[in-house]
Chain A
């Protein structure tokens, strides 16, 4: 079997690293403790102009009229920017990797779809002058009914939030309203399970609250180029997004960044650069667009709120025989990265456990809330929280130790996962054993002797692999899958039949059928987007 570390990166990695457990210093620490690390706003320019944005006070409204005449005449105001001034006033972040449709304007023109949505920008000689000019803009709105709950948004007759996705769901592969995972037959397994537990989990949006708010300074250079100092976490991503929105070749943009005052996922959305560049272009002067703390909280995209339902079928002996997950990701009014969070979530179902029947339905839903984005394991973190709460509840309900319950169900090398990939390099059992020892948590002998390298795969995996090719219709005689898993558990751990069965002995997972369509052949990757496999 190919081992990446040795076979591919042999020359790049020192096998004698001794870093863990020893103190080390960051390479940028001297700049940090002397205050000399240069963040985007630590670059100064004569005649710097300041951009402030007028934001919607309504979660959903039609804009009837905008009167900015008084603001345009206000002291210090150099320019007012409206949606019509933005060269490409519709974009979606992941369009750069051909994922999703352009759905979000830089400045709203006819309708606002969340409270805090940008409508108009004032560029002035000081931030104070820009703020004072904003007070003079008069906008007349027709408020529209709004939807704030993911399940309400999916009901028939619900308010349609985003015209690009009129049914309030993101389109996967241009035809599916959600992402599915199907493995085995959960309904049949629930019918046979000793106990079935269903719970609901609701997460809240979480603001990254970086100590440095999002911002950027765009400076006109010679030859029509612009230098942009930015707080972005995603320099080239922001560069290309800015180029697209401003309809300019990306070689006219020089982005300088890398020193970021806290990001955590909240600085990947390119919130400020496109308008700062446009303003610099329209005025010929350097322009700074910096979010206030209030804007960072209201308009800066948060971690999305997920609602997750989990239904487990559990046997008295501790085996989980079925897991059904239904989840709704609140994307807010537009797509930032929640569409991708859903893909990650589905890839993470059912957690690190070998379960023969798994069913997942995960929706990316539009509501009239602030668009959600990346944050530290987004898509996975919330699901893990829900799954592990559920694991505790299952264990308590069947009277089993929660850690032993996890050890029993943990992936082992050779197990077939619900995604039809064979598990390898598993170590959850060993992690649990070490954690139990350190925490003086009593594990019974048989659980202390279990191993990720023993007892996995073999009959379990083969049976499951068979079934995936011929899904059992409901009510059909059961395949030996669950009985073989029972055998694996009930076999005394000391009775190690044969040494670990390495993954290369396993049958290959079923390949997607060849097809003329792109579906099933192209896959989405977190970094490269859809790519041919």
Chain B
């Protein structure tokens, strides 16, 4: 019994196919789905794909960034206007993986994958879902909470371009220069003069999905980015996380080193 492959010109038709057909899975970059197909995963009966050019479209303006869910990490790296995401895109696999791996795929990648999704979560991204009856929007955080609950096809991701250097990202790996995440941290740190207002911090590999560090965000409110200012945030860095033991690291280790790397990210290399 082989797998059936269905290719649609329009993304909406692909969305209909995965929502109506049992065992139908959408193929984006393939780095995760094809692995399951190679292993003859009995849950995968049909592969659905789309050649819709809108699916890969990237649009950048001074205020907003719109990433087609089929945009690859390589496409992001090729876009000069997206320099703020280059470090994140480069953290996803080697060049061959980056040519395949997509923004949309990363949103559904199980831990310890999903570093790009953690970055988008910190950037307060909105996802657009494709469907047979039209599109609808959803906060990324909400999607992550229910992503395993059924056939969902994301068509694009949008977020407001953050000011200046307010966005920071760090990925911690055991293998260098490239490896799976022990954890990753993305932070949006808007400053009102020298005080943080409305920080958003997201972790990869610290739970079943990328998640926000809400306690640390609250503890940073109105504080300055120096050792004394961030101390309360570091104290609650691991609150609300539920990391796993896996081949890369134990849950204990992930919790232990999280505040250390959060400290480095918040203070910046020059102050550590």
User: B1 contacts A75, CB within 8 Å?
Assistant: yes
Within the assembled complex, what's the spacing in Å between the Cα atoms of A75 and B1? 7
Determine which residue in A128, A135, A292 has the highest number of CB atoms from chain B within 10 A of its CB, and name it: A128
The answer to whether B40 touches A131 (Cβ under 8 A) is yes
Contact present for B1 and A292 (CB under 8 Å)? no
Tell me if A131 and B1 are in contact (CB < 8 A).
no
Q: Which one of A75, A132, A294 lies within 8 Å of B40 (CB-CB)?
A: A132
Which B residues lie within 8 Å of A135 (CB)? 40, 42
A132-B41 Cα distance, complex, nearest whole Å = 8
B39 interfacial by beta-carbon distance below 8 Å: yes
> Which residues in window 29-52 of B have CB below 8 A to A?
39-40, 42
Question: What 1/0 flags go to A122-150 for Cβ under 8 Å of B?
Answer: 00000111011001000000000000000
Chain B residues with CB under 8 Å of A129's CB are 1
Nearest CB on A from B90, distance (A):
24
The A-contacting residues of B in range 67-125, CB under 8 angstroms, are: none
State the CA gap A135–B39 with chains docked (Å): 12
The reply to whether the CB of B61 lies closer than 8 angstroms to some CB of chain A is no
The answer to whether A128 touches B2 (Cβ under 8 A) is yes
Interface residues of A in 416-445 (CB under 8 A from B): none
- Cβ of A292: which chain B residues have Cβ within 8 Å of it? 39
- Can you list, as one digit per residue, whether each of A109-132 has a CB less than 8 Å from chain B (1) or not (0)? 000000000000000000111011
Q: Which of A280-311 contact B (CB under 8 A)?
A: 292, 294
A132 — which chain B residues lie within 8 A by C-beta? 1, 40, 42
Tell me the smallest distance from the CB of A300 to a CB of chain B, in Å. 15
**How far apart sit A132 and B39, CA to CA, in the bound complex (Å)?**
9
- Which chain A positions have C-beta within 8 A of B40? 127-128, 131-132, 135
Cα–Cα distance between A214 and B42 once the two chains are bound (Å)? 25
Specify the main secondary structure of chain A where it touches its partner.
Answer: helix
Which residue of the partner chain B has the closest CB to A128?
B40
Closest residue to B247 on the A side, CB-wise? A297
Q: Within 8 Å CB of B42, what residues of A? A: 132, 135
Q: Which residues of B contact A128 (CB under 8 A)?
A: 1-2, 40
Q: Closest approach, in angstroms, between the C-beta of A506 and any C-beta of chain B? A: 50
Q: Inside 8 A of B2's CB, which chain A residues have their CB?
A: 128
Cα distance, A75 to B2, chains bound together (Å)? 11
Cβ of B1: which chain A residues have Cβ within 8 Å of it? 75, 128-129, 132
CA distance A128 to B38 in the complex (A): 8
Bound Cα distance A129, B2 (Å)? 9
Closest Cβ of chain B to A71, distance in Å, is: 13
CA distance A132 to B3 in the complex (A): 12
How far does the alpha carbon of A8 sit from the alpha carbon of B203 in the complex, in Å?
67
Residue of chain B at shortest CB distance from A129: B1
Q: Nearest-CB distance from B45 to chain A (Å)? A: 11
Contact with A along B1-22 (1 / 0, CB 8 A): 1100000000000000000000
Query: Nearest chain A CB to B37's CB is how many angstroms away?
Result: 9
CA of A437 to CA of B103 in the docked complex: distance in angstroms?
Answer: 54
Q: Give CA–CA (A131, B40) in the complex, Å.
A: 6
Q: Which of B2, B39, B40: most chain A Cβ within 10 A? A: B40
Q: Which A509-524 residues have C-beta < 8 A from chain B?
A: none
CA distance A127 to B42 in the complex (A): 14
* A191 to B42 Cα, complex, angstroms: 67
Residues of chain B lying within 8 A (CB to CB) of residue A294 = 39
Kindly state the separation between the CA atoms of A526 and B40 in the bound complex, as whole angstroms. 42
**Closest Cβ–Cβ distance, residue B180 to chain A (whole Å):** 14
Q: Which residues of B contact A75 (CB under 8 A)?
A: 1
> What is the bound-complex CA distance between A129 and B40, given in angstroms?
8
- Determine how close the nearest CB of chain B comes to the CB of A126; give it in whole angstroms: 9
B40's closest neighbor in chain A, by CB?
A131
Give B2 Cβ to nearest chain A Cβ, in Å.
7
* A292–B39 alpha-carbon span in the complex (Å): 9
Question: B172 CB to closest chain A CB, in angstroms?
Answer: 21
Nearest CB of A to B36, in Å? 12
- Closest chain-A Cβ to B76's Cβ sits at a distance in Å of 29
Instruction: Report Cα–Cα, A135/B40, bound state, in Å.
Output: 10
CB distance from B257 to the nearest CB of A (A): 20
Bound complex: CA A317 to CA B2 (Å): 75
- What's the minimum C-beta distance from A276 to chain B, rounded to whole angstroms? 20
- Of residues 78 through 135 on chain A, the ones whose CB sits less than 8 Å from some CB of chain B are 127-129, 131-132, 135
Q: How far is the CB of A54 from chain B (nearest CB, A)?
A: 14
CB distance from A53 to the nearest CB of B (A): 14
- Chain B's closest residue to A294 (CB) is B39
A131 to B43: give the CA distance in the assembly, Å. 13
User: Shortest distance in angstroms between B33's beta carbon and chain A's nearest beta carbon?
Assistant: 15
- Closest A-chain residue to B2, C-beta based? A128
How far is it, in angstroms, between the C-alpha of A128 and the C-alpha of B39 when the chains are bound? 7
Q: What is the CA–CA distance of A294 and B40 in the complex, to the nearest angstrom?
A: 14
13 more A-B residue pairs beyond the given contacts A127-B40, A294-B39, with a C-beta to C-beta distance below 8 A: A75-B1, A128-B1, A128-B2, A128-B40, A129-B1, A131-B39, A131-B40, A132-B1, A132-B40, A132-B42, A135-B40, A135-B42, A292-B39
Q: 8 A-B residue contacts at CB 8 Å?
A: A127-B40, A128-B2, A129-B1, A132-B1, A132-B40, A132-B42, A135-B40, A135-B42
Q: Which 8 A-B pairs have the closest CB atoms?
A: A131-B40, A128-B40, A132-B40, A135-B42, A75-B1, A132-B1, A132-B42, A131-B39
